[in-house]
Amino acid sequence: MRNSLLFLALIGLFSVPALAEDRAMATARAAAQVEAQECVLQETANVGFNFNGTESDPLQIKAKIDKKIDDARALAKEAGVETLEVQSYNYSAYANNSSGGCCEGDCAGSGSGYQMNGSVNFTVKPAAKAGDFAALLSQKGFNANFNVNAYNQCN
């Protein structure tokens, strides 16, 4: 029994420093990982425009939106945007009045009597060009908006 107690005392005596050393090594490894971790700021940018009250033949709405997108693409190149992807678009069309016909009084120039509204949103790269692109869109008569988001991506 006495040998057993002596044996347990020896194990305890040597295991406490070993545990302390393991804990110290784990702390050092964790600190080294934090120091070695590299973070890069990731930026994403969206630029969009909306259109409201544009009179249109409902059968031609998609073609008009495609033309607006093509015009925006040309302006993006002019603004130095390298990548421009349509993120989303939406539109709706409605008759100017409940009968779907011409308004009261002089109807000259009323076309089909339909209004359309909607929006187009793009993803822009590099994000730094989003403001330039939105400004150029605005100068050309687009109702433009933009936002830039940034976050740290760490390995």
What would the pLDDT profile of 43-79 be if each residue is shown by its tens digit?
999 999 998 876 667 788 888 889 999 999 999 999 9
Query: Which of the pair, 70 or 106, is modelled with greater confidence?
Result: 70
Tell me: do 96 and 26 sit in the same domain. no
Tell me: do 64 and 130 sit in the same domain. yes
3-state SS record for the chain: CHHHHHHHHHHHHHHHHHHHHHHHHHHHHHHHHHHHCCEEEEEEEEEEEEEEEEECCHHHHHHHHHHHHHHHHHHHHHCCCCEEEEEEEEEEEEECCCCCCCCCCCCCCCCCCEEEEEEEEEEEECHHHHHHHHHHHHHCCCEEEEEEEEEEEEC
Average pLDDT, the chain: 81
Tell me: do 106 and 87 sit in the same domain. yes
Tell me: do 49 and 9 sit in the same domain. no
Range of the domain at 31: 1-37
Tell me: do 27 and 103 sit in the same domain. no
Q: The whole model's pTM is what?
A: 0.65
